[in-house]
A = this chain, B = another copy of it.
Amino acid sequence: MKPEANLTVAAIGEQGLLKILHQFCPSHLIGDDAAVINHRSDHSLVITTDVLVDGVHFSDGMAQPNVYTTSPEDVGWRAVAANLSDLAAMGATPFGITVGLSLPGTLPVSWVERLYQGLSSCLEQYQTVLWGGDVTRSSLLTISITAVGEVQPQQVIRRQDAKVGDVIFVTGDHGASRAGLELLLHPERQQELDTVSFQQLIKAHQRPQPRLDVPPILREILPEFRVGGMDSSDGLADAIIQIARSSGVGAKIDAEALPIPLAVRSWVSPEEARKWTLYGGEDFELVLTLPRHAAEQLQEKLGNSGKIIGEVSIEPEIKLSDSDLDLNQSFQHW
């Protein structure tokens, strides 16, 4: 028996495992939020799959079925939103999704119905359809969603396409979802906020809005489509780092321009606010690199919900204007 026969998945970690599994995929399909498949000369298919596991991604576990921190409707909404965000991140228009559900027989039917109501609400809002899927019995509730969309081949947004001299533009604010989670985990902190701010942050966490509105605007203002980017589901800092690494460039971020939500800025310390904005994750906004004039037009079209936060640089470091730290280096320490 070879020694590596006993090597476990835990021992090599997620990145180690992905490196092995990527060998089984054509290399041009790897490295973005979704795979782009050249289907016809006038359109490519874009496909993405996400797996959510009970107790890991959306609840306190089936062992205590009454203590879900997220309602089944919100689980459904967020699952669809995450997948549609992956499509938006590629510049694609969604068509539909399939759902692979494995569930314990002890699960209340009403929970499943409410899950599907949440899925459907999000699908409806984005004119997308549930195509079907599979349901099977299991001891552990697991939801696997595959979303399919399409994009014109020359209008794909990729991480590797950041160009030196382009600005870095983010849609919306960042950190609101993390702030909402804080309020759900520590309900007593609700009293530190006014009602409007409270509701806004909770909603940011429970009902994130994938930015499917952005690609059509980009196609309009930039017909030559010089755009790079991805979504910020794993955090704003992560998105900037991924884009810079994939494109072989660096980034200079203006610390004053960080998209910290007003409700967060006026609630927690500046350090906490910055941390949530850079590393909170699950805001499902887009982080884009594009020419300055286009970014300014995009900002205007979005009614100023979005801003330029820095620029793509030739030096490989990722610098915050008020810090000597390289974000790329410091990321591991958070």
Copies in the complex: 2
Q: Which residues from chain B contact A14 at a C-beta distance below 8 Å?
A: 135, 137
Which A residues from 29 to 58 make CB contacts under 8 A with B? 29-30, 34-35, 37, 39-40, 45, 47-53, 55-57
Question: Among B8, B21, B30, which residue has its beta carbon within 8 angstroms of that of A135?
Answer: B21
| Interchain CA distance A131-B134 in the complex, whole Å | 20
Q: Which residues from chain B contact A133 at a C-beta distance below 8 Å?
A: 49
| Interchain CA distance A180-B5 in the complex, whole Å | 28
Contact (Cβ within 8 A) A144 B100 = yes
Question: Among B7, B25, B116, which residue has its beta carbon within 8 angstroms of that of A131?
Answer: B25
Contact (Cβ within 8 A) A102 B142 = yes
Interface presence of A10 (CB below 8 A) = yes
Known: A37-B131, A136-B56. A106 touches B24 (CB 8 A): no
The proximity string for A residues 117-152 relative to B, scoring 1 for CB distances below 8 Å and 0 otherwise, is 101100000000111111111111010101010000
The proximity string for A residues 89-113 relative to B, scoring 1 for CB distances below 8 Å and 0 otherwise, is 0000001101111111111111011
Q: Considering only CB atoms, which chain B residue lies closest to A61 in the complex?
A: B139
Contact (Cβ within 8 A) A108 B24 = no
Known: A49-B132, A106-B9, A110-B4. A56 touches B138 (CB 8 A): yes
* 18 A-B residue pairings within 8 Å (CB atoms): A8-B105, A9-B106, A17-B112, A18-B135, A20-B112, A20-B116, A24-B116, A24-B117, A26-B129, A35-B132, A48-B98, A48-B132, A49-B144, A51-B144, A53-B136, A55-B139, A140-B140, A142-B142
- CB within 8 Å of B: which residues of A? 4-12, 14, 16-18, 20-21, 24-26, 29-30, 34-35, 37, 39-40, 45, 47-53, 55-57, 95-96, 98-110, 112-113, 116-117, 119-120, 129-140, 142, 144, 146, 148
